[in-house]
Amino acid sequence: MRIVLVGPPGAGKGTQAGLLSEKLGVPHISTGDLFRAHVEKATELGLEAKRYMDAGELVPDGVTNAMVHQRLVEPDARVGFLLDGFPRTVAQADALNVCLSDNGSKLDAVLELEVSERVVMERLLGRGRNDDSEEVIHRRFEVFRNETAPLLEYYGDRLVTVDAVGSVNEVTTRALRALQALP
Ligand code: AMP
Ligand 1: which residue has its CA nearest to atom 14? 32
Give the pLDDT of residue 77: 95
Residue type, 143: V
Q: How confident is the model at residue 89 (pLDDT cuts 50, 70, 90)?
A: very high
Q: Which of 53-57, 72-76, 118-122, 150-154 has the lowest mean pLDDT?
A: 118-122
Ligand 1 centroid–CA 9 distance in Å is 10
Q: What percent of the chain has pLDDT over 90?
A: 81
DSSP-assigned beta bridge partners for residue 24: none
Q: What percent of the chain has pLDDT over 70?
A: 100
Across all residues in the chain, what is the average pLDDT? 93
| Cα separation, 171 vs 182, whole angstroms | 17
Ligand 1 centroid–CA 58 distance in Å is 6
Choice from 59, 99, 148 to test ligand 1 binding pocket (greatest atom count within 8 A of CB): 59
- Find the mean pLDDT for residues 129-143: 86
Ligand 1 in reach of 12 Cβ (< 6 A) = no
Give the pLDDT of residue 39: 97
Read off φ and ψ for residue 43, nearest 5 degrees. -75, 170
Q: How confident is the model at residue 127 (pLDDT cuts 50, 70, 90)?
A: confident
- Sheet with 28-30, strands from edge to edge, namely 28-30, 81-84, 2-6, 109-114, 159-163
